[in-house]
Amino acid sequence: MVKVQPHSAQAEVLLAARQWWLGRQSPLAASRDAPGSVPADLRLVGVKTSRPQGATVVAALEGLVDRDEAEALRGTSVFVPRSAFPAPDDDEYYWVDLVGCMVYGVDDADAPVLLGRVDAVTENGAHALLDIACLQAAQGEAEPSPVLSSKGRQRSLLVPFVNAHVLNVDLGARRIDTNWPADLD
């Protein structure tokens, strides 16, 4: 048997799924792949049985016959099809859907300005945080370029994903509007 730590509020999805995709890729990195595509490092396994055990899920997987094989799966991510999850409410979002969205803040004149792209969504205990890779739109360039620190590393920005700061989320346009200041100096 293997023990899985769910990273979803809907752990019952793991319990109901009769097949899991296993891979070393992080769930958020996998979300950047083309919709409907299966990353090359994932393999499909059947789930013989599964049950909750505290905050985890314990499962017996097809083809897994001894403890050494189970131990070799340590650090593996478990994926289930998106269709297995319930649709979110109007004011709710799956974090994986936010990754890749462009984020626009406001400048000193309250005009919209590009802050960057959501690279990850994390939790700080009180609320979710958008981890944004800072980008700048230069005139005449088709794609925005990274904002670099004095050490040559791409700058990042954390924006609280709360109603007080997130004004609009348009998943179709892959855009998030916030009142977070564009202070990247």
- Where would I find the H helices in the chain? 12-16, 27-30, 67-71, 95-98
End-to-end CA distance of the chain: 52
DSSP 8-class letter at 84: G
DSSP 8-class letter at 34: P
Q: What amino acid is encoded at 180 in this protein?
A: W
Judge if pTM exceeds 0.75.
no
In whole angstroms, what is the distance from residue 53 CA to residue 82 CA? 24
pLDDT computed for residue 25 by the predictor: 65
Tens digits of per-residue pLDDT, 14-47?
Answer: 899 999 999 886 555 555 555 455 566 788 999 9
Region 143-161: mean pLDDT is 92
pLDDT computed for residue 37 by the predictor: 53
Instruction: pLDDT band for 12, please (50, 70, 90 cuts).
Output: confident
pLDDT computed for residue 123 by the predictor: 86
Q: Is the pLDDT of residue 151 over 90?
A: yes
Q: Is the pLDDT of residue 185 over 60?
A: no
Domains and CATH numbers, the chain: 2-84 (2.40.30.60), 95-181 (2.30.30.240)
Tens digits of per-residue pLDDT, 52-76?
Answer: 998 899 999 999 999 999 999 998 9
Tens digits of per-residue pLDDT, 79-125?
Answer: 888 888 888 888 889 888 999 999 999 888 878 899 999 999 988 88
